[in-house]
Amino acid sequence: MLNTKQIIAQSGVQFGTSGARGLVTQFAPEVCAAFAHAFLHGLSDRFEFKQVAIAIDNRPSSPEMAKACIAAIEAQGLEAIYYGVLPTPALAYSAMQDDIPCIMVTGSHIPFDRNGLKFYRPDGEITKVDEQAILNADVDFDSHLNVRELTVAPKAAQQYVERYTGLFDAAMLLGKRIGIYEHSSAGRDLYQGLFESLGAETISLERTDEFVPIDTEAVAESDKVKARAWSQKHDLDFIFSTDGDGDRPLVADENGEWLRGDILGLLCAEALQVEALAIPVSCNTVIERSGVFKAVSKTKIGSPYVIAEFDNLASDYTTFAGFEANGGFLLGSDVTINSKCLKSLPTRDAVLPALMLLALAKSRDTKIADLVSALPPRYTDSDRIQNFATEKSQQIIAKATLQPTGLLKLLGFECVNVVSVDTTDGLRLALESNDIVHLRPSGNAPELRCYAESNSVDNANQIVKKTLEN
């Protein structure tokens, strides 16, 4: 017999901002099984269910991890419904409609030598309390895993597409040319049909069988160059892409310029006409300055914190949502679109913000680029140092919290006066120059992230560059 607490503790796998993450070598079959057993054990006294749904991204390691999880599910006498390669929000939405838990095998945007597990209760994402319950679960399970070949069920993919195509007129995107940067996204087989069903002409861009770790919060320069070239070559009105598991969008305007995720979220929330927002502290301050929303609550970075804030918003507002700087949009309440009810989906989603941006541009008879340029001139940028030990990041931030001006001078900033220090998540410094510098260790990988905000694009870029280079 094996024990969940011992196996998980010895594995080195840890929870990040969203899900358990680690090296592929750490996710041995018994580790995956231990996580599945611990997760389901924690639900047994709160929910009644006979089925558990599971899906994967396109990472080479994901199928074997799914098999181990399914073996654990079936060892508990439960039925495992396998949806194959599927976007995380599609799995979560289908499971919520069926009132069952689910497990997504994905490492999201982190490199292919890593992977992870995301867990959903029948009512949505697990909380930070649930994460600790999984880590502390003390469950014995059989060391023999009855691993079998898997058969893919199509229902979840169909439900996800129908969730959005049913909201709009079939000609909403008529005349639009949309490029779909497919790479290795988990939703790449769904997006073409979804956009075409709304009248668009689609062009497939750079599909690959090698896993590509797209980070929508730190878009590579090579992807910026590609988007501009694609837009010109194919005369595109829009480019759509996502990260690896399809819960974070990456969209470009008519010029092939990628939109920042928080700006996309702002425009989506405005189009949805929600009353209140919950967003991480790293998001652009133009959101609360816009005056569009009755309330804007700031949280720590990570979807569990945004979702937790929904409980507070629900007591005062009828409609509310959230999004992250990476563009993932979380619909906290039901909303009405074109006289039709769109059910809440309190987990990151990539398709909703893309469609609402297109709908907003059409309703105002304007270009996406013009929607963005009409916003107050406040710009953000971010990047990361990869393979940077989390402990080292924490030491730097702890020291800088006590001496923020000293850190800025060490990084090469001159004549800086710190107006405020925000330690909600990492270290966020507001300067007298109206610039913002924010340092934070990644919750998913050994990376140090830098976020910057300024009144010009170039200045925001330079702040990030100077900070990470020094």
Would you please indicate which residues are annotated as catalytic (active-site) residues?
A: 108
Compute the chain's Rg from CA coordinates.
22
| Cβ proximity of 81 and 49 under 8 Å | no
Nearest Cα to 185, choosing from 153, 214, 160? 214
| Cβ proximity of 379 and 463 under 8 Å | no
Residue 386's alpha-carbon distances to 1, 23, 411, in angstroms, are 38, 14, 18
Nearest Cα to 76, choosing from 150, 140, 148, 149? 140
Structural element, H or E, at residue 437: strand 436-441
Cβ contacts of 374 within 8 Å, gap of 6 or more:
none
Cβ contacts of 164 within 8 Å, gap of 6 or more:
194, 351, 352, 355
Q: For residues 106 and 246, what is the distance between their CA atoms, to the nearest angstrom? A: 10
Q: For residues 100 and 245, what is the distance between their CA atoms, to the nearest angstrom? A: 20
| Cβ proximity of 196 and 190 under 8 Å | no
- What residue type is assigned to position 93 of the chain? Y
Strand partners, 120: 102, 125
> Which segments of 197-246 does DSSP mark as H helices, in order?
221-234
Q: For residues 61 and 456, what is the distance between their CA atoms, to the nearest angstrom? A: 42
Q: For residues 180 and 203, what is the distance between their CA atoms, to the nearest angstrom? A: 6
Q: For residues 186 and 213, what is the distance between their CA atoms, to the nearest angstrom? A: 12
Strand partners, 102: 53, 120
Structural element, H or E, at residue 281: none
| Cβ proximity of 438 and 411 under 8 Å | no
What are the tokens at 392?
Answer: 């080292």
- What residue type is assigned to position 433 of the chain? S
Phi-psi region of 295 (alpha: psi -120 to 50; beta: other; left: phi over 0): beta
